Amino acid sequence: MGIINITPDSFYAGSRARTEAEIEARATRLVADGADFLDLGAYSTRPGADDVSADEECRRLKLGLDAVRRAVGDAVPLSVDTFRAEVALKAVGEWGAHIVNDISGGTLDAGMFEAVASLHCPYVLMHTRGTPATMGGLTDYPGGVTRDVIHELSMRLATLEELGVADVIVDPGFGFAKTLDQNYEMLAQLDAFGLLGRPVLVGVSRKSMLTRLLGVSADEACTATAVTGAFALERGAAILRVHDVKEAVQSVNLFSKLQSPRNV
């Protein structure tokens, strides 16, 4: 899943594409590099990012979706990274997006689950707590981070199932309401998320869990992202959400080769 951020302030500058020409160029490159999905976001959720109104988020996403369609047509499904039900309804219902990727897992907009149910589209259910401004203080997991995150996701999955939402992808939410050590504990135990019976999406691309540990900048974290992605695949990840698609595809191809029956 290749990332396109239609924002001025997403944490990794290389993912930003604000003009139509920039969006078209990035979409073309990501698809050429082997992206299976494109994920468009118009609201930065990094701590300290500026608030963005729903109208502005919609304006950015409409511009982005139109530009991507011109660039790559129907080559890949398009995901919209939003926590707002009204934005999801317009993006999927009116502008041709296929997937809703909700970093809040339905916790920031009470209407999101019903919106997704009405759209009959795939939904990425990510784990977090609080808001980007408060999540850093919400990292207490008495039962252990992996166990508690799985439990919280399972409760939200049950609600989605009651509403008839069948196509759900789960995202453990690396970097969201987790300490550095908790991120790695959860990554080491990623196979446990198989208990939820859903595909697992892992998004660690160039995040601070890599840069802080290694003492590098986000610009220098491509190799670390590829290595971590390969480990996530070994532990059961089904989708890698990344800034650098070419390197992620190489990780997938190497992992697939190792899983070939003649190599087992």
* Residue 49 burial (10 A CB sphere; 0-12, 13-18, 19+): middle
Q: In the 8-state DSSP scheme, what is residue 200?
A: B
* Residue of 178, 241, 246, 257 marked catalytic: 241
Active-site residue 69, yes or no?
A: no
> Which residues make Cβ contacts (< 8 Å) with residue 215, sequence separation at least 6?
none
> Rounded CA gap, 10 and 12, in Å?
6
Q: In the 8-state DSSP scheme, what is residue 16?
A: B
> Rounded CA gap, 88 and 59, in Å?
13
Do 123 and 102 meet the contact criterion of CB atoms below 8 Å apart?
A: yes
Active-site residue 241, yes or no?
A: yes
Q: By three-state DSSP, how is residue 201 classified? A: strand
Q: By three-state DSSP, how is residue 240 classified? A: strand
Single out the residue of 4, 63, 70 nearest to residue 33, CA to CA: 4
* Residue of 207, 212, 235, 246 marked catalytic: 207
Beta bridge pairs of residue 101 = 81, 124
> Rounded CA gap, 238 and 200, in Å?
5
> Rounded CA gap, 101 and 126, in Å?
8
> Rounded CA gap, 57 and 52, in Å?
6
Catalytic residues: 207, 241
